[in-house]
Structure 1
Amino acid sequence: MKKLGLIGFPLGHSFSKKYYLEKFDKEHITDVNYDLYSIADIQEFEKIFKDSDFYGVNVTIPHKINVLPYLQELSPEAQAIQAVNCIQIKHTASGPFLKGFNTDVFGFMESLKPLLDDHHKKALILGNGGAAKAVEYALNALDISYKVVSRSKTETNLTYSELDAHILNEYYIIINCSPVGTFPNLEDAPDIPYDHIGNKHLLYDLVYNPPETTFLKNGKNNGAKIKNGLEMLVLQAEKNWEIWNEL
């Protein structure tokens, strides 16, 4: 039995495990299993990738960066972002060969493309964590300029208090990469002036649970197009599967 899985710590509910096990059942794939591997110390990863039955893993917090020293190669987007969420494992005569990818980029970019109109030329990225790095890479690839919005002021970003009607009439894409609005604080939303959101705006929330965050509800109530992160996860998961099974 070939093995796939998710490494991270702590691991609770996993979209990945549910998704892949349902995929295996639906597509009658019987020679592969997908499981969760809760590892607090990244050094425990060595036991996993040295198991010759493993040919791929997903990576989540807190190991997306500290797994990098174990990898022999990075895809271009993983190299640029310096974070991976997908690792391909090939067992060779000289030992395991590990290549890291960041399929969040693919998932986000492909789910965003169908929503873009001609006036969607500039974006605001709310938050500056790891997820924001994947979004930045995708926006660069799509030739969409952007500004990061965070609580602390730097030379290049904006703060939430600086957002006003003028800025929101220039930046018609707003992407929430922060955890604001996730369970259990479902009523919370990023502190932006929603009164200046209109039907030219596109609001995208990387969160998918709940399906419609307060951030998205506020946008929809003002006529904006909205999108949650579920399709991004599905596209990313299928890209992982493609990577793991390429010859």
Structure 2
Amino acid sequence: MASEPTLPDASTCIVLLLGNPVEHSLSPCIHNTAFAAHDINAVYAASQVAASDLADAVRGMRALRILGANVTIPHKERIVPLLDSVSPRAEALGAVNTVVARSENDARILHGDNTDIEGFLDPLREKSGLHAQPMTILGAGGAARAAAYALGITYAPTPLTVAARRPEQAQALVDALAPHVDNTTTFAACALDDASSAVRSSRLVVNATPVGMAPNAEATPWPNADCFAPGQLIYDLVYTPRPTRLLREAKARGADTQDGLAMLIGQAAAAYRLWTDRSMPVDVVRNEVMAHLAAAS
């Protein structure tokens, strides 16, 4: 278990999570555990912020001289023009999930980055046989955009199919990302109802939708489990419940499976490094998160 957290005082650094909703977030558990393990005088708090209040929240971050922030749905894209600068990968995605604050000429400068890419790739680094293989992403929102970019710059899938309920949204994602990834990557976009062939032929299938997340644990983004087979890796970015229906059915068909907890902790570890210049004590954090999930179940 992590050591007891330092009691907040006038010198305590503040890190915020900006989103709506935020009640379900595990980020306070993750980061406060890490701060305590490293005896860092900082506190991480989830803050529910309406879209109409986001600009005011960013102004407040400057006034409070915070250490940084995480940004989640629905603000990842909306916050970009409110910041002073963004990293190249955040610019390519058009989305920020991490804000780093620093002082410059007596002003507070806010820099945006996106650590979802590192988090997404973390559990894939130990997998073999992914380069230039066919892959499919279910969904075309922010998580799908991060996954597509990560796969495109790392594995050059041939092809990378993005399947969404609205095929025009999938096509827009493909068009936006194609200039930013390995030029040997080939893209395709289609409606979910037309994705059976792509799913069957894919070495990697990623669920980048929230379908199947608690409390709707018996929902699945892909009800056609007969498309799964040995030799495939099915990666569900949902991390609760563990496992999701999607992963249970994929495993029953002989496929390898990966849930979203590793991505959650991986993106948090990358953000923690940006704020503190220290490596997150991942084993301590994972144990605390598992205990938290067990207590909540």
**What TM-score, normalized to structure 1?**
0.92
Equivalent residues of 1:120, 1:173 under 8 A apart? no
Q: Which residue of 2 aligns with 1:18?
A: 29
Alpha-carbon distance in 2 for matches of 1:159, 1:27: 47
- The correspondence for 1:115, drawn from 108, 127, 134, is 127
1:237 counterpart = 2:268: yes
On the 8 A contact 1:2/1:55 being kept in 2, the answer is: yes
Deviation per residue, 1:48-77 (Å, 9 max, x gap): 22212x111001112111111221211111
What is aligned with 2:194?
A: 162
Residues 1-247 of structure 1 aligned to structure 2 (within 5 Å): 1-29=12-40, 31-40=41-50, 41-45=53-57, 46-52=59-65, 54-117=66-129, 121-142=133-154, 143-145=156-158, 146-154=160-168, 156-164=188-196, 166-246=197-277
5+ unaligned residues in a row in structure 1: which ranges? Answer: none
Q: Distance in 1 between matches of 2:131 and 2:148?
A: 19
Deviations 1:196-223 (CA, angstroms, capped at 9, x unpaired):
3111110000000011111111110011
Secondary structure of the residue aligned to 2:103 is strand
Give me the whole-angstrom Cα distance separating, in 2, the residues matched to 1:121 and 1:197. 16
Alpha-carbon distance in 2 for matches of 1:79, 1:2 = 27
Shift of 1:116: 3.4
For 1:84 and 1:162, how far apart are their aligned partners in 2?
31
- Residue type matched to 2:133 in 1? K
Structure 1, residues 55-110: CA drift from partner, whole Å, max 9, x if none? 11001112111111221211111000010010000122251111111100110012
Query: Amino acid of the residue matched to residue 188 of structure 1?
Result: A
The separation in 1 between residues aligned to 2:146 and 2:198, in whole angstroms, is 23
Other structure's SS at 2:124 match? helix
Q: CA deviation at 1:170?
A: 2.5
Once the 2 structures are TM-superposed, how far is the Cα of residue 144 of structure 1 from its aligned partner? 2.2
Count residues in correspondence: 244
Segments of structure 2 that go 5 or more residues without pairing to the other structure are 1-11, 172-187, 279-297
The alignment partner of 1:215 has SS state of helix
Could you tell me how far 1:148 is from its partner in structure 2?
Answer: 0.5
Offset at 1:168?
Answer: 3.6
Percent identity between matched residues is 32
Question: Helix, strand or coil: the match of 1:178?
Answer: coil
Alignment CA distance shift 1:57-1:224 (3 Å): same
Question: In 2 relative to 1, CA 118–106 (structure 1 residues): closer, same or farther, beyond 3 Å?
Answer: closer
Secondary structure of 2:64's partner? Answer: coil
- Per the TM alignment, residue 8 of structure 1 is displaced from its structure 2 partner at its CA by 1.4
Q: Distance in 1 between matches of 2:261 and 2:70?
A: 17
Cα shift readout 1:3-40 (whole Å, capped 9, x = no counterpart): 112111232122110111122223333x1111122221
How far has the Cα of 1:152 moved from its partner? Answer: 2.5
CA distance in 1, matches of 2:217, 2:31: 27
SS in 2 for 1:64: coil
Q: What's the CA shift for 1:119?
A: 7.3
Give TM-score, length-normalised by structure 2. 0.77
Partners of 2:251 and 2:267 lie apart in 1 by 26
Q: Is the 8 A contact 2:136 2:198 kept in 1?
A: no
Distance 1:119 1:96 in 2: 42
